[in-house]
Every structure is written in structure tokens, then in C-alpha cells.
Amino acid sequence: MKQKNPKSINIQIQNCGKVNLDNINNINKKGVNEKEKLLTLSIQQINDGLLAIVFDTNNTKRNKEAASIAENLLGGKLVNSTMWVTIPDCMLLPSIVPLMHLYRYIQSWKSCKSYFRKKQINLYQFINALIHVKDCSENYIARNHTKYCWRSLNKNGWGCKYINSIRKHLDKCSEYKSNTLYWYNYGYFNVLGEWIIDKNLIREVIFSEIRDNGLDLCPFLYMKEITEKINGLPDSIEIDNVNFKKHYKNDFIGSKIGPVPDNIRHIPELSIKDQQEWEKQQKIKELEYEIGMGQLIG
């Protein structure tokens, strides 16, 4: 159930992690390769629910200004000549403004590395994602409208407009869009030639996108609802050449190369003439495949 008329965004969680940097005090005394290994090891030891920003400092004015922002506004710690900024999940949204100020200084520094939940990230893209989450959740409160989270007025998507890794809705009036896979593309042909939907893989892809982009920092994103949407997808798709068709790619059939079914596509609404031409081309591909597999005699 959605929250009704919340007065503020509650982004506080229990046990906000703190990082112990005592074990990395000697990193800057090592050689370049060993320093890189120690840096990687230290990042791996950081709590999973953290943003970590690491950069080298020197005595230039810009370095001092960046270090000041990191220490005074983001709680950073200077270890020898390396600045470590670690921000727990529960403090990321309130830290957007100082993060933006820090990024203006360190964006082009080769020594700067950023990690979120132990994965190296593009800090600029990540800050933009945080801004989207913050603005979106605040607008949800201001408008008091669950449809604000929808992809459009008529399509609720997965429940968050920023989940873009997998398309949920099919557009029957337009051709297949190849820039993003649809939910039904995640599947396989079984021994009977039926197309089986791999819901576990869909869940893995969507949840990875949510975690990697920090979308779960939004207090109005409900993983249970997303799971229910995934579980509600069909278990299999009937290839009826009316709503869905096989998609072919050229591959080896024995010692020859020919069209082999590797996935499926939904069929957009076509004019009678276009439908007849499409059925003709589809039949040709099916015959070529059957001939290649030796299924036709004579």
C-alpha cells in the first residue's frame, strides 16, 4: 500500500555504516601497483551500503578547496595525502548539494575513483541519478498522486519511471524497438519449441539496475510490488504469428549457415497489405530453417 499524505521524506535507516580507515594509513607509502591493490582491497572491505570517493590531494588551491568540501561538508578523512569520503545510504539524498560542489573540482582528476556498493561508478551519472530520486520523491509528496511514478499517464511500468533496463509495455502500433529489450525477450525455447519466460533473469536484471543506480533510496519504491509485477508475467508465450512471432538469426545449421530462431518479437498492428507481405516473408524464413534442419522431404 502507498503511504497517504506523508509530510516529509523519511530516508533515515538504522545502523548507518561508518568506515574504519586505520588499516590503510600506509597506502601512499607503497609503489603504484601495490597502492592500487591496497586501494581495491580497502574498497572491498567498505560496508556494502556506502558511496566511497577517493582522490589524491596536494598543495594547489583547487586541491585544498576540494579537500575542505570533502572534510567539512561530507565528513571526509585525509589519510596521508589521500582523501576518503564515505557516505552511507541513509545520508546520500541530503548530501547531493555538497557532492555537486565536490564534483566540480575533482571531475577531471585521474586520481579520483568513485564506488557505490563496492562497484566503480561514473560519479557524474550517479549524482544525476540521485537528483532524479530526490526530485521524484519530493514531487510524489507534493502532488499526492501515485501515477507520478508511472512511465506515462496510461502505463505504470514497473512502478518507477526510472527503471529502464527492461520494457514492460508493448506498443501494438509501432515496430519492435531494439534499443531496449522487452520482458518477453528474457526466455528460451524448450524442447517442444515453446517460448518460456525466465522470470528469475528478469528479476535479476531489474533489481541490479535498482541497486546500481540507487533507485531503492526512494522511500516510495516498493520492491515487493515490483516482484509481484514480475511474478504476474506469463510463464510462456504462444507463437501464433498473430501476436508473437519467432525471430531468426543466421547461424550454423550443420555445416551450412542459415536462419535459426533465437528469440521472439511481438507483432504490431499492420495494414492488410503489410500483413500479407509479412506473412510471406515469415513463411520463407520458416521454410529455409526447416530445409536446413532436414525436416522437409522431397
Alpha-helix residue ranges (DSSP H) falling in 213-263: 223-231
What percent of the chain stands above pLDDT 70?
A: 74
Task: Give the per-residue pLDDT at 97.
Answer: 96
* Cα gap 14→197, rounded to integer Å: 37
With cut-offs at 50, 70 and 90, classify the pLDDT of residue 124: very high
Q: What is the pLDDT of residue 79?
A: 87
Residue 149 exposure: Cα atoms within 13 Å on the Cβ side: 23
> What Rg do the C-alpha atoms of the chain give, in angstroms?
26
Nearest to 217 by CA among 157, 144, 133, 159: 133
Mean pLDDT of 61-78: 93
Chain-centroid distance of CA 268 in Å reads: 27
Q: Tens digit of pLDDT for each residue in 157-176?
A: 898 989 999 999 887 666 67
CB-based contact 168:158 (threshold 8 Å): yes
Supply 68's cell numbers.
Answer: 575542505
Q: What is the pLDDT of residue 156?
A: 84
Q: Could you give the CA distance from residue 150 to residue 234 in angstroms, rounded to a whole number?
A: 21
Please name the helix (run of DSSP H) or strand (run of DSSP E) that holds residue 256, with its range, or none: strand 256-266
CA distance 3 to 9: 11
Answer yes or no: pTM beyond 0.75. Answer: no
What one-character DSSP code corresponds to residue 22?
Answer: G
- Is residue 248 within 8 A of residue 292, CB to CB? The reply is no
In this predicted structure, what is the pLDDT of residue 9?
36
Separation between Cα atoms, residue 260 and residue 50, nearest integer Å: 46
Domains and CATH numbers, the chain: 22-121 (3.30.70), 147-236 (no CATH), 244-292 (no CATH)
On the question of pLDDT at 179 being above 80, the answer is no
